Structure 1
Amino acid sequence: MSDLPSLPVTFRPARTRVVLLTAGVVIFVVISTVALLLEQLSPGEKLSFVVTGALLFGVLVWLSRPKVVADESGVTVVNFAGTRRLEWAEILKVNLRTGDPWVFLNLSDGTSLPALGIQPGINKQRAIADANTLRALVEARSITDPDASGDADGRL
């Protein structure tokens, strides 16, 4: 299929990531600046403000982590809690149905794996296009029935 991107390709919610990382930097800078400008605070209290800002920034970096990376040998799904490597043949179906918060991958072992790297939160059309691209890659690279492809439709 000529419409397929060259591998490796990374899918991630770019706008969401920009919002989270920008908010994290702003929160850290504001909290740290306030702590340093408040003269009545002791050095320990100022440090606790800076550490709190750093922790909040860390949480937002962690929330911006999800991605799906497709390469020649398979797909790597990076979610909040961990990373899972899948061979192409393990993925039976790519699902992004109306109302789904992110893509779900139906796997050959009978389970479903959420792929948070493709989510319609801020940019629905991008998520639909990414889900369709991943579905096409799965169909082109796995040994499955073409009629068993996923449900990534434009009805979101």
Structure 2
Amino acid sequence: MSELPPLPVTFRPGRTRAVLLAVGVAVFAVITTIALLLETLSPGERVSFIFTAALFLGVLVLLSRPKVVADESGVTVVNLASSRTLEWAEIVQVNLRPGDPWVFLNLSDGTSLPAMGIQPGIAKQRAISDARTLRALAEAHGTGDPVT
């Protein structure tokens, strides 16, 4: 990689996020419309239809949450239900091996942290490029070891 991107930089699975949010909004709209148009439904049944649609939308919004934000002080990893901020020196390796569902960060304390914001699902080449960029940033800003 010839040049590092300016910080801060955010990595997220853009296509996956767009699909999840579009499907969630579309399903919510369709189920809500059906609930309001069906005359045979009681008010309670209509509310349960709309509540179910909102619950489904909420799950898809949660699934679209992951991202990795790199700035001067370190990296913030936002996964489905958690968020963790790391200093650059804590990141030893950035790994995206064939078959991995997302990037894994090997940390100086001997643990590994999944970074779901970089995942090869729909856009494999983009995920590989993002993983390489994050690896280069970790090597430039911390004590990261290069990974083949």
Counterpart residue number, 2:147 = 150
Q: Distance in 2 between matches of 1:120 and 1:143?
A: 26
Q: Shift in Å at residue 81 of structure 1?
A: 2.0
* 1:20 and 2:17 correspond: no
1:3-51 Cα offsets, whole Å, 9 max, x none, are: 1000000000000000000000001001001101100001111111011
**Unpaired segments ≥5 residues, structure 2:** none
Aligned pairs for 1:117-128 (under 5 A) are 117-128=117-128
Q: Shift in Å at residue 150 of structure 1?
A: 2.9
Q: Distance in 1 between matches of 2:52 and 2:108?
A: 43
8 Å Cα contact 2:7/2:72 also seen in 1: yes
Superposition misfits of 4+ residues, deviation over 4 angstroms = none
Q: Shift in Å at residue 149 of structure 1?
A: 1.7
Indicate the percent of aligned positions where both proteins have the same amino acid.
73
SS at match of 2:10: strand
Q: Distance in 2 between matches of 1:150 and 1:18?
A: 31
TM-score norm. by structure 1 comes to 0.92
Q: Distance in 1 between matches of 2:142 and 2:54?
A: 43
8 Å Cα contact 2:92/2:143 also seen in 1: no
**Unpaired segments ≥5 residues, structure 1:** 152-156
Please tell me the root mean square deviation across aligned C-alpha atoms, in Å. Answer: 1.1
Counterpart residue number, 1:43 = 43
8 Å Cα contact 2:91/2:143 also seen in 1: no
SS at match of 2:93: strand
TM-score norm. by structure 2 comes to 0.97
Q: Distance in 2 between matches of 1:18 and 1:24?
A: 10
Q: Distance in 2 between matches of 1:150 and 1:50?
A: 49
Aligned residues: 148
